[in-house]
Amino acid sequence: MSGTGYQFAAETLDLAVKGATAYEREDLVERLTGARHLLSDTSVTVYVVGEFKQGKSSLINGLITAPVCPVDDDIATAVPTKVGYSQQVRAVASYQSATGGESPWTEDVPVGELAAYVTENGNPGNQRRLRSMTVGLDRPLLASGLTLVDTPGVGGLGSVHNAVTIGSLPQAHAVVFVSDASQELTAAEIRFLRTVKELCPTIVVVLTKIDLYPEWKRIRDIDLGHLRRAGLDVDVLAVSSELRNVAANAGDQELNVESGFPPLVQRLQDVVRDAERVALHSVGNHVLSVVGQLEPALRSRAASLTNPARSAALVAELTRAQQRADSLRERSSGWQQILFDGFADITSDIDYDLRQRSREVLHDAEKGIDEGDPAKDWPAFEQWMRQRLAGEALENYGQFARRARELAERVAEQFDLAAQQAVAPAGIAAPVEVIEEIEIDSSFSATPKKLAGGMAAFQKAYGGFMMFTLLTHMAAIALPGPVGVGLGLLMGKSGLGEERKRQLEKRRAGAKTAVRRFVDEFNLQVGKDSRDALRRIQREMRDGYTRRAEELQRSTKEALTAAQKAVTNDEAENDELSRLKSDLDSFAMVRERAREVLSHATDRPAVAAAGRR
CA-to-CA dists, residue 392 to 191, 288, 346, 353, 527, angstroms: 10, 43, 17, 10, 12
How far apart, in whole angstroms, are the C-alpha atoms of residue 243 and residue 154?
A: 27
Residue spans of the domains in the chain: they are 43-259, 446-517
How far apart, in whole angstroms, are the C-alpha atoms of residue 122 and residue 374?
A: 30
Q: H or E stretch including 588?
A: helix 574-603
How far apart, in whole angstroms, are the C-alpha atoms of residue 84 and residue 259?
A: 23
Query: For residue range 272-317, what is the model confidence (pLDDT) as tens digits?
Result: 888 877 778 778 888 888 888 888 888 877 776 666 555 566 667 6
Q: What pLDDT, on a 0 to 100 scale, did the predictor assign at position 534? A: 87
Q: What pLDDT, on a 0 to 100 scale, did the predictor assign at position 277? A: 78
Q: How many CA atoms lie within 13 A of 294 on its CB side?
A: 29
> What is the distance of C-alpha 195 from the center of its chain?
9
**From its phi and psi, is residue 111 left (phi > 0), alpha (psi between -120 and 50) or beta?**
alpha
How far apart, in whole angstroms, are the C-alpha atoms of residue 80 and residue 166?
A: 11
Q: What pLDDT, on a 0 to 100 scale, did the predictor assign at position 106? A: 87
Q: Which of 133, 76, 156 is nearest to 432 (CA)?
A: 156
How far apart, in whole angstroms, are the C-alpha atoms of residue 118 and residue 80?
A: 8
- Residue length, the chain? 613
CA-to-CA dists, residue 592 to 291, 487, 597, 599, angstroms: 11, 104, 9, 10
CA-CA-CA-CA torsion for 450, 453, 458, 461, nearest 10 degrees?
A: -140
Q: What pLDDT, on a 0 to 100 scale, did the predictor assign at position 329? A: 63
How far apart, in whole angstroms, are the C-alpha atoms of residue 227 and residue 184?
A: 11
How far apart, in whole angstroms, are the C-alpha atoms of residue 501 and residue 499?
A: 5
Q: Which of 442, 440, 434, 436 is nearest to 524 (CA)?
A: 434
CB of 130 closer than 8 Å to CB of 98: no
**pLDDT averaged per 10 residues, the chain (length 613):** 72 90 87 75 84 87 89 68 91 78 81 75 58 90 90 55 55 86 90 79 91 94 94 93 93 93 93 80 82 84 67 66 65 75 91 92 89 82 87 86 86 66 69 81 65 51 55 53 56 64 85 90 89 87 80 74 62 66 87 85 54 35
How far apart, in whole angstroms, are the C-alpha atoms of residue 370 and residue 479?
A: 44
CATH no. of 43-259: 3.40.50.300
Residues paired with 93 in a beta bridge:
107, 133
Q: Which of 430, 425, 429, 427 is nearest to 540 (CA)?
A: 425
Q: Which of 157, 167, 171 is nearest to 131 (CA)?
A: 167
- Positive or negative, the Cα torsion across 575, 581, 585, 586? positive
Q: What pLDDT, on a 0 to 100 scale, did the predictor assign at position 259? A: 94
